[in-house]
Homo-oligomer: A and B are copies of this chain.
Amino acid sequence: MARITAGVATSHVPAIGRAIDTDQTQADYWKPMFDGFEFSRKWEESEKPDVVFLVYNDHATAFSLDFIPTFAIGVAEDYAVADEGFGPRPVPAVEGHADLAWHIASSVIQQDFDLTVVNKMDVDHGLTVPLSLMFGQPEKWPCKVIPFAVNVVQYPVPSGRRCYNLGKAIRKAIDSFSEDLNVQIWGTGGMSHQLQGPRAGLINQPWDKAFLSDMVDNVARLVSIPPEDYIREAGSEGIELVMWLIMRGALDDQVTELHRHYHVPASNTAIGHLILKNGNNS
């Protein structure tokens, strides 16, 4: 039986990708940010997940305004790394897990989530930056990845509660997959940031820190946050945090916190990171 062993939350800023790809992770500006992921890379080396179910958002890369799916699941065998305007990041292509992805798609649609099923899509920094943060710079990613794209660009975006309930449906799907697989679910994006307008640069550290804590043991508060509160308190792009709730919904009510990291700034963004072991047995 496939089982979700852990949930990972992490921001996914493009500048982080650039810092890695241009070998600046030890520069003064970046070092404190990357230091917080050292534990995580070592932990992944011992965890050796078979599959990462990776919740992210497309940033006007695979999806133009012609076609905006609220939720899209990738069921392909592989995914090319997108050219976001500077050429593709120099990272390995992403291998999918079509069997599990199709199983999840089928199960979750039958649980009344109206997914778009995607056989071909290029993946942008939203997906590749978390892989780099957690796995470093291997020749080949050490596991398969199921990309799950959430619309957080064009309003209305799905509510935090909808996302959390979707996480529960994904959990049910993974639990019912017959192959023995170590599956992690990652929720990416956030934390507070605003990239646009005269209010750009907004960072709300107390709000972010409360969010990190409540991800562990008070998710009920988080699922009730309406979109306007994310915008007001965490900046217009802080809404990405609803994707963390998909991850949280897929875990047990009780989880064990293995690691937490918070750093300001990375470019315009507050970096938040959590590793939650599924269940309360440590």
Contact A119 B65 (CB under 8 A): yes
Q: Count A interface residues, CB 8 Å.
A: 26
Least CB distance from A219 to B in Å reads 18
Query: Digit string of A60-72 for contact with B (CB within 8 Å is 1, else 0)?
Result: 0000011111110
CA distance A71 to B114 in the complex (A): 7
Q: Is A5 an interface residue (CB 8 A)?
A: no
Check A156/B109 contact, CB under 8 A, given A67-B67, A69-B69: yes
A261 part of interface (Cβ distance < 8 Å): no
Find out whether the CB atom of A106 lies under 8 angstroms from the CB atom of B156.
yes
Q: Are B120 and A66 in contact (CB under 8 A)?
A: yes
Contact A69 B116, beta carbon cutoff 8 Å = yes
Report copies per complex: 2
Please give, as numbers and ranges, the residues of chain B lying within 8 Å of A158 by CB-CB distance. Answer: 109, 112, 114
B116 touches A68 (CB 8 A): yes
With CB as the reference atom, state the residue of chain B lying closest to A62: B67
Q: Does A110 contact B (CB under 8 A)?
A: yes
| Interface positions of A (Cβ within 8 A of B) | 65-71, 106, 109-110, 112-121, 154-156, 158-159, 162
Known: A67-B67, A109-B156. 16 other contacts (CB 8 A): A66-B120, A67-B116, A67-B117, A67-B118, A68-B118, A70-B115, A70-B116, A71-B114, A106-B155, A106-B156, A110-B159, A112-B159, A112-B162, A113-B114, A114-B115, A114-B162
